[in-house]
Amino acid sequence: MSSDFLLSTFIAFFVTIDPIGLGPMFAGLSAGMDARLRRRTAIKGVTIGTILLFGFAFVGDLLLKSLGISTAAFRIAGGILLLLVAIEMVFARESGLRTATEDEKQEARHRADISVFPLAIPLIAGPGAMTSTVLLMGRAQGDPLMQVAVLGVLALVLLSTLVCLLFAGEVSKLLGVTGINVINRVLGILLTALACQFVIDGIIESGIMR
């Protein structure tokens, strides 16, 4: 298992879950909550998101096979989806792939409990994060050590997500909108390259190009 694999895994999860960007968003959605309720909501949301992503890691491949979807096809489709996420990050736009849409945010403001929606889904366990989980578990090629490494990195990113949510106000003040956008743009460029690699791997695996 190479350090390149661990680094690419970390980048994929960190970019698609986006702990730093979630902080200010959570601060806005939880405005009006007391500190205790905000903390409980953050813990509950991350816990549910973790269960969903870990569940997807274990049953994702089985689900693809039951639907008759090849690994190669999913690599290509997943790579394209992650490429769209990366483009969204580089241009600092929101399309709903990585964040909640404006309509979803409006609906969330009228909910008493935002831990399941939109915090756990789609902010933490969104399409990009689920796709990354399945692709990276598949990239481990059944190697137990590599699969444990993928899950370990995912757990680390989710833990950092919880920390960012618990200290959402401090993170927002420290980085500001510009700082968060700069970090997202840099990570978006790296994710672009990783997404293209997934597409190339899928094309090669399909036998279209050798």
Amino acid (one-letter) located at 147 = Q
The distance of Cα 107 from the centroid of its chain, to the nearest Å, equals 22
User: pLDDT at position 135, please?
Assistant: 93
User: pLDDT at position 162, please?
Assistant: 97
pLDDT of 98 higher than 70: no
Tell me the Cα Rg of the chain: 17
For 146-204, the pLDDT digits (tens) are 999 999 999 999 999 999 999 987 877 787 778 877 887 888 888 888 889 889 988 99
Q: How far apart are CA 95 and CA 143, in angstroms?
A: 35
User: Phi, psi (5° rounding) for residue 150?
Assistant: -60, -45
The ranges assigned to domains in the chain are: 3-206
For 37-89, the pLDDT digits (tens) are 999 999 999 999 999 999 999 998 888 889 898 888 888 988 898 888 888 87
Please report the DSSP string for 107-149 in residue order.
HHHT-S--IIIIIIIIIIS-HHHHHHHHHHHHHTTT-HHHHHH
CA dihedral 14, 19, 21, 27 (to 10 degrees): 170
Q: Which residues contact 42 (CB under 8 A, 6 or more apart)?
A: 26, 30, 115, 119, 162, 165, 166, 168
Q: Which residues contact 100 (CB under 8 A, 6 or more apart)?
A: 25, 108, 118, 122, 123
User: pLDDT at position 96, please?
Assistant: 54
User: pLDDT at position 95, please?
Assistant: 58
